[in-house]
Structure formats: structure tokens, C-alpha cells
Amino acid sequence: MAQIVKRAYKYRFYPTPGQAEELARTFGCVRLVYNKALEERTRAYTMEGRRVSYVESSAALTEWKRSGDYDFLFEVSSVPLQQALRHLQAAFANFFAKRARYPTFKSRKKARASAEYTRSAFRWRDGTLTLAKMDTPLDIVWSRPLPQTAEPSTVTVSRDAAGRWFVSILAEEKITPLAPAEQSVGVDAGITALAALSTGEKIVNPRPERRDRRRLAKAQRALARKAKGSTNRAKARLTVARVHARITDRRRDHLHKVTTRLVRENQVIAVEDLTVRNMVKNHSLARAVSDASWRELRSMLEYKAAWYGRALVAVDRWFPSSRLCSRCGTLQEEMPLNVREWTCACGAVHDRDVNAAKNVLAAGLAES
């Protein structure tokens, strides 16, 4: 049965000089409103022990505009400013629910600047998108078509550290689950191989950061030699950001291909419930773990499985998948990381990662 989901479509666009100036002004106003509201809420919380609501912050924004000190806030659309207050409200809600840390101030030098427009602040007509305070539509590169039935509800415009402009269009879409699959698979995340499957297959890890490490190091050395505050330093910083953007794009593209394939081919996908946050504290493995991006792999599997009618099962992180023989069930006392292949007393010869994936699948099927 088809389900209605909210799905974001991200595209690159090329603003005119006037549009770029308007968006840069909007980004600055969004940052100012967010920081000023955070400052006021922090003062009320620390000095008076009082929580400030979104309604109070919105009323304060109106007063700031009328005070005469912030007249320039009238020059941009009011919707992104209100959305900034809503995002701050959500950040405080997560903090008080102990799901996140205390909100922090937005930096002027932040790598990514963004502004969010709701339906009343943009016009979507005949496949063109025009934002409030703009006379011409955005020059969007439609790398993939937006579904004809999709009606955009929110538009987020952003500029990354590499100077690229993106627009993310959130729309409701009807997604039909895939036909039931006969296969199920266990996935053991790794570093040498991105993932070992219970079928015996190992998915290659392209290691995008490692491949571009020399180029990145060269760009970072050039940046370190430039005088602070100089134009050449700004150019060198942009070069470093472009290398990072290339690494990120290649990594995300590979993860999308892998996760889409796993979801299409398997009805049940069993994975280990890894605590990546703790694993990156190991300085010997942090760089390799971050390059593999296990957390993003898990996140993609979660929402794609939910969309297409698949089951994703997370096996307890303390389950001894590597030390357990997948044939007879014998548990080995220890299994050092340098042991990649071992022989059980029953005579079975195991590849460490494939054996772990088989055990993860068995545990996942038992739980589901």
C-alpha cells in the first residue's frame, strides 16, 4: 500500500549577482536573529530560571525591528527569520529532553549558511521557483526531475564552504513499497571493506578521504602559509573546502548506491548497533571510521527501508558476532583484531567479517 512521505530533493543552482546579494543579506539576518534570541533565552534561563517560549521570542523580534537599531531586518523576508526562531525552539526542546547539548551561537565564519522559506515566501509555478524579495526565478540545475504530483511545502537555500549554492525542496510524495523479496542479509561494517555480507560478498570501501589525502594536505599547507585576513588566505581556504566537498560528494554517492541496492534485494537487513561516537575516540581508528561513514550508512538504510516496506533490524552491540562460529555455535574465548581468518573446532574455516555477518543475520531474524 502506497504511503505519503515528506522527501527532500536537493539541487544546485547559480544565482545572479542580485540574488546572491539578497541571499547573503538574508543569511546574515537569520544568523543575527538566531544569536540574539539565544542570548535572550540564555539570560532568562541563567538569571531568572525562566524558559522563554517561541511566542515570546517572536514578539521580541517584532520589537527589535521597531526599535530603530535593526531596521535592516525589514529588507529581507520575515519568513526565514521566523523559521530561525522555530529552529532555536526545537534546539531547546531537544536540550531539555536530554537529546542534545545546549544550543550554540552561529558563527559568521560558519562553513554552511542557510535560510528556510515556507509556502508563503516562495512561488512555485510551471517548474520555476521564485523566492520572496526576488523578481526572477532561481537558475536551478534539474539533475533529476521533481515528481509531477509533488507540491513543495518548504524550500531551504544554502551555500557551502566551497561557495556552491544549493536549494532543497521538501515535498510530499506517494511512495509504493517494493514487492516482497525472498532474500535477507546480514551486514558487518568494516574498514578494509565497507561492509561484509552474509552471502560472502564484500563491498569495497572507496576510502575517498584517503584517496585525496595528498591533495588535501597540499591545500592545507598552502593555507597555513597565508597571512590571516588576507585575500590569498580566503582563496586558499576555498581550495581546501573544495577538496573536502569532493570527498564528501564521492562518499555520499557510493553510500546511496550501496544502500539502495541492499534495500531493493533484501526483505530483512540486519546490522550491528554500533556506537560510532565512542569508536572515533580511538585515535588509531578515528580517521578510517569517519571515512567509512558508518553512521550515514545506517541512517540511509533506516529511511529507505521505511519507505519501501523493508525491515531493518539492529543487533545488540555486545553480541559476539566475530567470536561465534556460524556453523556450530561455538563461542571462542578471544578474537584479536589482527585475526582475519580462523578455524573452528568443528572444522569450519571462517573469514572473520563474513562469519560475523552470518551471525548478525541469524540474530536479526531471531529478533524480528
The pLDDT of residue 21 is above 70: yes
335 part of a folded domain = yes
How are beta strands 152-159 and 165-175 bridged, if at all? antiparallel
Q: Are 134 and 23 in contact (CB under 8 A)?
A: no
What percent of the chain clears pLDDT 70, i.e. is strictly above it? Answer: 99
pLDDT of residue 343: 87
The pLDDT of residue 218 is above 80: yes
Is the domain of 136 the same as that of 25? Answer: yes
pLDDT of residue 75: 93
Is the domain of 189 the same as that of 112? Answer: no
pLDDT of residue 110: 66
Q: Which of 22, 173, 188, 291 is catalytic?
A: 188
Burial per residue of 306-318, b for 16 or more beta-carbon CB atoms within 10 angstroms, e otherwise: bbbbbbbbbbeee
pLDDT of residue 336: 85
Integer CA distances (angstroms), 12 to 84, 248, 332, in order: 23, 15, 52
Is the domain of 274 the same as that of 150? Answer: no
Average pLDDT of 2-20? 92
Return mean pLDDT, the chain: 91
Question: pLDDT, tens digit, for every residue of 237-268?
Answer: 999 999 999 999 999 999 999 999 999 999 99
248 part of a folded domain = no
Is the domain of 188 the same as that of 171? Answer: no
Q: Are 77 and 134 in contact (CB under 8 A)?
A: no
Is the domain of 324 the same as that of 273? Answer: yes
119 part of a folded domain = yes
Q: Which of 116, 173, 291, 353 is catalytic?
A: 353
What's the pLDDT band for 158 if we cut at 50, 70, 90?
Answer: very high
The pLDDT of residue 300 is above 90: yes
How are beta strands 113-118 and 193-197 bridged, if at all? unpaired
Q: Which of 272, 273, 316, 333 is catalytic?
A: 272
pLDDT of residue 209: 87
pLDDT of residue 123: 95
Grid cell 585515535 is found at 283
- Element at 207 (helix H, strand E): none
Is 272 a residue of the active site?
Answer: yes
Is the domain of 116 the same as that of 159? Answer: yes
Domain end point (choices 175, 195, 212): 175
Is the domain of 197 the same as that of 115? Answer: no
Is the domain of 360 the same as that of 331? Answer: yes
Q: List CB contacts of 126: < 8 A, sequence separation 6 or more.
A: none
83 part of a folded domain = yes
pLDDT of residue 111: 58
Number of domain units in the chain: 2
The pLDDT of residue 333 is above 70: yes
Is the domain of 9 the same as that of 129? Answer: yes
Comparison of pLDDT for 165 and 210, the residue scoring more: 165
Domain end point (choices 136, 156, 175): 175
Is the domain of 164 the same as that of 121? Answer: yes
- Element at 20 (helix H, strand E): helix 17-47
Residue 76 phi, psi (nearest 5): -115, 165
Is 351 a residue of the active site?
Answer: no
167 part of a folded domain = yes
What's the pLDDT band for 315 if we cut at 50, 70, 90?
Answer: very high
Cβ burial, residue 76 (10 Å; 0-12/13-18/19+): buried
What does pTM read for this prediction?
0.86
Is 212 a residue of the active site?
Answer: no
Q: List CB contacts of 120: < 8 A, sequence separation 6 or more.
A: 79
313 part of a folded domain = yes
The pLDDT of residue 3 is above 90: no
Residue span of the structural domain in which 345 resides: 184-204+257-367
pLDDT of residue 108: 83
241 part of a folded domain = no
Domain end point (choices 126, 158, 175): 175
Q: List CB contacts of 165: < 8 A, sequence separation 6 or more.
A: 12, 13, 14, 15, 20, 23, 157, 158, 159
Is the domain of 72 the same as that of 193? Answer: no
339 part of a folded domain = yes
The pLDDT of residue 289 is above 90: no
Is the domain of 164 the same as that of 28? Answer: yes
